[in-house]
Every structure is written in C-alpha cells, then in structure tokens.
Amino acid sequence: MIPLLPFAAGIITGAVAVRLLKTDRTRKSLNQAGERLRDATVSSLEGIENTSARARRRLARAEAAKPRDDESVIDGQARKDEEPSS
C-alpha cells in the first residue's frame, strides 16, 4: 500500500500541472519568461562578441609589433636607422 501512495501523488500532481499549463494565464507567463530569457541571452552574446573583438584587436596589434623570426629587436632598430629618410 505504501508504494502506491507516491504513485498516486505523482499522478495527481501531473494532472494538476497539465491543467495549469493549459490555462491562458500560465501560457502567457511562460511566453513572457521565454522572451525575457531570449533577451538576456542576446544581450550576453553581444557582450561576448564585443569582448572577443577587443581581444582580437589587441592581439593583432601585439602581433604587428612583434619582430619577425629572422630579425631581432636590435636588427629591426638598425634597419630603421639605415633607411634613407625622404
């Protein structure tokens, strides 16, 4: 008899939940919650996009400032000094 009580309680709870989900008020609340969740997700993704764009720009500047493999920092400075100025 005892195992039958949780089973019956589950059936009753499920029936109440299904009945609540069918009401317009509950459906409207769920739609509003979905819209808020969607808006928050879009906002978060835009923030991630902006952050990654800044990181890419920063890495590109660091890569451009980095000396090539075949020259050292001293060689690079010496080449700048040797170039004729226009």
> What tens digit of pLDDT does each residue of 6-64 get?
899 999 999 998 888 888 888 898 899 999 999 999 999 999 999 999 999 999 888 88
**Residues 20 and 26: beta-carbon distance below 8 Å:** yes
SS3 of 32-82: the string is HHHHHHHHHHHHHHHHHHHHHHHHHHHHHHHHHHCCCCCCCHHHHHHHHHH
What confidence score (pLDDT) does residue 25 get? Answer: 86
The CA distance from 79 to 76, in Å, is 5
